[in-house]
Chains A and B, each alone.
Chain A
């Protein structure tokens, strides 16, 4: 099958190349006859199917000459003491066993692909590896009697120039400053917001107190109230000075003592809560519901417009929808232009 297809490809290429010499042509013609017969045979067997036949390449084979690599390695290696090479092989360092367990759990959760694209995690891995190597290598160097740390008074040329390091420092300081500034601004903004809220609340509270006082004074004047009541009201915290209806226990007492037995029984007998009247009446929705049968002509014609809120309510809604600030409006404008 594969050979026949390859021949097909060859055949096509032969047809394309017309400038070839005669000899080549004749040979190719013979070949093509040959392949034609083969193709016919293949077709008869049903191996060939109509459509474009394209030669397919197998999966790319990659060379991995292990013995060659080992040979090259043996050739390359030199018998040098460690001090010449300073190489370490290390896994990342972990501080404690608890840490280790945690990490393992994390490893289970995260796939390695995630690790690669997460900058922080990836760099942390390299950092840890470096740390482990440093912790191992430095004592080893010290054991060999070599100085590892540069003394303070040892001056020499550095890899990065002083000017460059100045730039780095400047950038670091600048970054810190911007962070501080933004944090300060954030704090101020929050304080401002909060302060405003408190101010508003205090104002409302004062107004309320004043109102209540005036009312109670009025009532007292009319003789509806005892003088004592006002004083009590004044003593009590403002806001709790509700005068309940007679005979109806207020929430406070219900919470404290619970409902009476008589009340409970009556609630049970007569039912409590929920709307009782008008449940069988039509509403807008039920009138429009066609599944229930005939609907009125008006509803059929006007349909959904009936469900819009009334004009009065619409006006109210409009009032509630505030006009956005200038910056917002400009932003919206510019977006529209784009």
Chain B
């Protein structure tokens, strides 16, 4: 709380300074527009990148990566999401930010990411899939810290209205303002946003040579759109992804499939048992009528009985004995 108060104090100072600056800028932009290229930092985008409590280590690493890649980002402590999501707008206001990237984790495994334009909206909520952070050793590229990225969008972003909106939101959040004090003057990396399988895939490449050879820097992730809201972090829904299946539902489906597999197996076993023939070999029942005692097993007066050959194997021996018996 003490920290928050201190921030508010700072903010008041800044606001005073800002009003002066704004007036100054207004005059400057008018002159700059004639010469196309401004000489000062005029696009004041500030993005608050932070997370809710309970975000897993992967989410935290991704958040840190975004902070290092975006010099125009600001950090804040982890938010206690129990106090309500509308708190985010207040925090952004306090931090003097007009854009927000917010991470939220459910069940310690499903990472959600919010992109919002504060305070008037719109905002979009995504599920993050296939996340790889920048610290993975597989991704071998590197770039200047704070270099401005080129943003590359797939053609799909110009086709549907909700993609157009997302494109504008991404541009405003991810592109580092020109001549930002913390930025570098060279262009050595680019972000690509492409739509595939109804998801948005994010990649960060280093531009190795100017003939177009790239090496991936990271992070890489896949954004599965859930909803677009009219307000910032909330408000009426503008778009809802019809193909989105929540991870809970997905897991439930998988479990159900497993259960079905078991059931299937049990049923097929039962069926097989039912279909199985009880008689494996057709035998004449009359064959067994004369099947009596084997000569070797005969005792005492039984030896005097007339023996027939047995049905299994020992026929020849039985015959021999019989003849012997007959002789006796």
Cross-chain contact of A64 among B157, B194, B240 (Cβ < 8 A):
B240
16 other contacts beyond A77-B168, A125-B194, with CB at 8 A cut-off? Answer: A63-B237, A65-B237, A68-B236, A87-B152, A88-B151, A89-B152, A89-B155, A90-B155, A130-B192, A133-B150, A134-B152, A134-B190, A146-B187, A149-B186, A159-B134, A301-B313
How far is B189's CA from A158's CA once the two chains are assembled, in angstroms? 12
Residues of B within 8 A of A116 (CB): 196-197
**Contact across chains for A65 and B239 when beta carbons are under 8 A apart:** yes
Cross-chain contact of A130 among B134, B143, B205, B210 (Cβ < 8 A):
B205
**Contact across chains for B238 and A68 when beta carbons are under 8 A apart:** yes
**Contact across chains for A73 and B165 when beta carbons are under 8 A apart:** yes
Residues of A within 8 A of B151 (CB): 85-88
Tally of A interface residues using CB under 8 Å: 65
8 Å CB contacts to B: which residues of A127-179? 127, 129-135, 137-138, 141, 144-150, 154, 156-160, 164-165, 167-168, 171-172
**Contact across chains for B150 and A164 when beta carbons are under 8 A apart:** no
Nearest-neighbour CB distance to chain B for A313, whole angstroms, equals 25
**Contact across chains for A69 and B162 when beta carbons are under 8 A apart:** yes
**Contact across chains for B185 and A146 when beta carbons are under 8 A apart:** yes
How far is B237's CA from A137's CA once the two chains are assembled, in angstroms? 35
8 Å CB contacts to A: which residues of B219-236? 228, 230, 236
Q: Is A58 an interface residue (CB 8 A)?
A: no
How far is B226's CA from A62's CA once the two chains are assembled, in angstroms? 11
How far is B197's CA from A72's CA once the two chains are assembled, in angstroms? 26
Known: A85-B175, A89-B157, A130-B205. A76 touches B196 (CB 8 A): no
**Contact across chains for A84 and B178 when beta carbons are under 8 A apart:** yes
Q: Is A99 an interface residue (CB 8 A)?
A: no
Residues of A within 8 A of B68 (CB): 159
Nearest-neighbour CB distance to chain B for A162, whole angstroms, equals 9
Cross-chain contact of B144 among A84, A88, A159, A301 (Cβ < 8 A):
A159
Known: A83-B37, A164-B135. A127 touches B196 (CB 8 A): no
B234-269 to A contact mask, C-beta < 8 Å, 1/0 = 001111111000000000000000000000000000
Which residue on chain B has the smallest CB distance to residue A142? Answer: B210
Residues of A within 8 A of B239 (CB): 63-65, 69
Can you sample 10 A-B contacts with CB below 8 Å?
Answer: A62-B240, A80-B43, A86-B175, A116-B197, A127-B205, A131-B214, A134-B190, A145-B37, A146-B185, A165-B142
Q: Is A3 an interface residue (CB 8 A)?
A: no
**Contact across chains for A141 and B142 when beta carbons are under 8 A apart:** no
Known: A129-B194, A167-B137. A69 touches B175 (CB 8 A): no
Residues of B within 8 A of A131 (CB): 212-214
Which of A's residues lie within 8 Å of B, judged by CB? Answer: 60, 62-66, 68-70, 72-73, 75-78, 80-81, 83-91, 93, 112-113, 115-116, 122, 125-127, 129-135, 137-138, 141, 144-150, 154, 156-160, 164-165, 167-168, 171-172, 301
8 Å CB contacts to A: which residues of B20-76? 36-38, 43, 68-69
Q: Is B326 an interface residue (CB 8 A)?
A: no
Residues of B within 8 A of A77 (CB): 168
**Contact across chains for A87 and B212 when beta carbons are under 8 A apart:** no
**Contact across chains for A130 and B152 when beta carbons are under 8 A apart:** yes
Residues of B within 8 A of A90 (CB): 152-155
How far is B36's CA from A138's CA once the two chains are assembled, in angstroms? 18
Nearest-neighbour CB distance to chain A for B320, whole angstroms, equals 16
8 Å CB contacts to A: which residues of B117-145? 117, 120-122, 134-135, 137, 140, 142-145
Which residue on chain B has the smallest CB distance to residue A69? Answer: B161
Known: A69-B165, A85-B175. A76 touches B117 (CB 8 A): yes
Cross-chain contact of B207 among A68, A70, A75, A138 (Cβ < 8 A):
A138
Which residue on chain A has the smallest CB distance to residue B187? Answer: A148
How far is B239's CA from A73's CA once the two chains are assembled, in angstroms? 13
**Contact across chains for B212 and A149 when beta carbons are under 8 A apart:** no
How far is B184's CA from A154's CA once the two chains are assembled, in angstroms? 11
**Contact across chains for A171 and B150 when beta carbons are under 8 A apart:** no
Nearest-neighbour CB distance to chain B for A39, whole angstroms, equals 33
Q: Is B308 an interface residue (CB 8 A)?
A: no
Which residue on chain B has the smallest CB distance to residue A297? Answer: B315
Known: A68-B238, A72-B165, A159-B143. A126 touches B186 (CB 8 A): no
How far is B138's CA from A171's CA once the two chains are assembled, in angstroms? 9
**Contact across chains for A134 and B207 when beta carbons are under 8 A apart:** yes
Q: Is B97 an interface residue (CB 8 A)?
A: no
Residues of B within 8 A of A150 (CB): 144, 186, 188
**Contact across chains for B187 and A141 when beta carbons are under 8 A apart:** yes
How far is B217's CA from A144's CA once the two chains are assembled, in angstroms? 27
Residue of A85, A86, A154 most packed against chain B (CB within 10 A)? A86
